[in-house]
Amino acid sequence: MRRQAGRKGLGMNWARAGDLMLTGGGQGPLETQIADILHALQSEGLGPEALALLRVFYRPGNPEEVLRRALASALPAHARLALTLVPVPQAGAGDGQLSLEAVAVAGPDLALAPPISPPQPQFLKGLRRGRFLVLSAETAMGNLGLPLESHALMQRLGATLAALGADFGDVVRMNRWYHAAGTKDEWEPSARATAAFYREPGPIATAISLPWPLPDGRAIQIELMGMRGIDGAVLPKHHSWPEGLWDWPIHLPYKHGLACGGLGFVGGQVSLDAKAEVIDPDHLDRQIARSLANVHKVAAGLGRVERVLHLGCYYETPPGGMDGDAPGAADLRALAAGASPAVLAGFDYLSYPAMRIEIEAIVALQP
């Protein structure tokens, strides 16, 4: 595994394990963040063609199409990658306007799904590169309401997986962003509709509530990452669910941790007990500590961890924001500045009342 050689610009860092490279969240103007990502690739001996995914957290303002065009203009014309755009109240650790993170994969392109939008051929619905499958966050067609949109969207993602020579059994990581209040009554029908497409044991899963609808009034978008052998063989996986760890209030096929091909994937960890009751509901700082402890507990169940490659930290914005002095603000700043590449996004609320933070991770496992 190669370690990042340093920081550039406003502080983006990165990590590499074999053919996979991950960056933390960037800061500053879009062009600066793209330049930082390309610099990180170059530092690892990779070119722009290795880019597999850009995930962009942004404050709503200009239409999504304007942002997509700006990204396409800032990238080399020959780059072909997946794209996920997430509108959030607080994007990253800088001014909160925009934060980009990247996934890069060294290896041959085995299959490419069609472009998301023909005017920007760089951005694909999905790609299969080396051992990895990376699918852009998609939405369903039409405003059907959250449960029906969830079902229709999973059908679309299934078609993209099939076009890449894969299926839902190859998925190792699922990220959902949906517009609904942060209560079980709001998200349960959608969760059941999505879960019906997986056999147990399923992938890891992280779901985050958005305070406003997605563009065109749509209610949900889902991004997938999967792994399959270069020869087309299904790769073996094993899972982690430490005894006594928290559970969802309804049965779902997802697992807390999944290991595949020397990597460990840890689904969003929170400060809940085994009965899905929030622990320390009024203390963001304590919830951060417990969520990180859960990440390490789940990862340890997958094997010996060599290094944390990436943290995704989704939090309920404390009074005064990350730069304030409310409990937990300093802990958020420490996550942003830590040795492990991390991306942070602040929200008005998460998927469960009084739950203040959710942290997901990718780790490198020792052989």
Evaluate whether residue 10 is within a structural domain. no
Evaluate whether residue 35 is within a structural domain. no
More confident residue, 293 or 61: 293
Evaluate whether residue 68 is within a structural domain. no
Summarised one tens digit per residue, pLDDT across range 21-53 is 999 999 999 999 999 999 999 999 999 999 999
Evaluate whether residue 184 is within a structural domain. yes
Query: If you average pLDDT over residues 299-318, what whole number do you get?
Result: 97
Question: Could you count the other beta carbons within 10 Å of the beta carbon of residue 319?
Answer: 10
Evaluate whether residue 120 is within a structural domain. yes
Q: Give CA–CA dist 98/58, Å, rounded.
A: 4
Confidence at residue 1, expressed as pLDDT on a 0 to 100 scale: 40
Question: Could you count the other beta carbons within 10 Å of the beta carbon of residue 304?
Answer: 11
Structure confidence at residue 185 as a pLDDT band (50, 70, 90): confident
For residue 62, is pLDDT > 90?
no
Strands in 342-347's sheet, in edge-to-edge order, are 90-91, 342-347, 305-316, 357-365, 263-269, 257-260, 238-240
For residue 107, is pLDDT > 80?
yes
For residue 249, is pLDDT > 60?
yes
Confidence at residue 181, expressed as pLDDT on a 0 to 100 scale: 76
Evaluate whether residue 139 is within a structural domain. yes
Evaluate whether residue 237 is within a structural domain. yes
Confidence at residue 204, expressed as pLDDT on a 0 to 100 scale: 98
Express as a percent the part of the chain with pLDDT over 90.
83
Q: What pTM value is reported for the model?
A: 0.95
Confidence at residue 299, expressed as pLDDT on a 0 to 100 scale: 98
Note whether 100 and 88 are within 8 A (CB).
no
Which residues constitute the domain of residue 361? 110-365
Comparing 186-190, 235-239, 345-349, 361-365, which segment has the lowest mean pLDDT? 186-190
Exposure string of 116-143, with b = 16+ CB inside 10 Å and e = fewer, is beeebebbbbbbbbbbbbbbbbbbbeee
List the alpha helices (DSSP H) in 251-349: 284-300, 329-337
DSSP assignment of 43-100: HTT--GGGEEEEEEEE-S-S-HHHHHHHHHHHS-TT--EEEEEEE-SEESSSSSSEEE
Q: Give CA–CA dist 207/314, Å, rounded.
A: 10
Comparing 169-173, 248-252, 288-292, 299-303, which segment has the lowest mean pLDDT? 248-252
Can you list the positions of beta strands (E) in the chain? 14-17, 20-23, 51-58, 81-87, 90-91, 98-105, 109-112, 115-117, 120-124, 126-129, 132-138, 171-179, 204-210, 220-227, 238-240, 257-260, 263-269, 305-316, 342-347, 357-365
Note whether 205 and 168 are within 8 A (CB).
no
Evaluate whether residue 88 is within a structural domain. no
Confidence at residue 360, expressed as pLDDT on a 0 to 100 scale: 98
More confident residue, 101 or 93: 101
What's the CATH code of the domain at 269?
Answer: 3.30.1330.40
Total tally of structural domains belonging to the chain: 1
Confidence at residue 11, expressed as pLDDT on a 0 to 100 scale: 60
Express as a percent the part of the chain with pLDDT over 70.
96
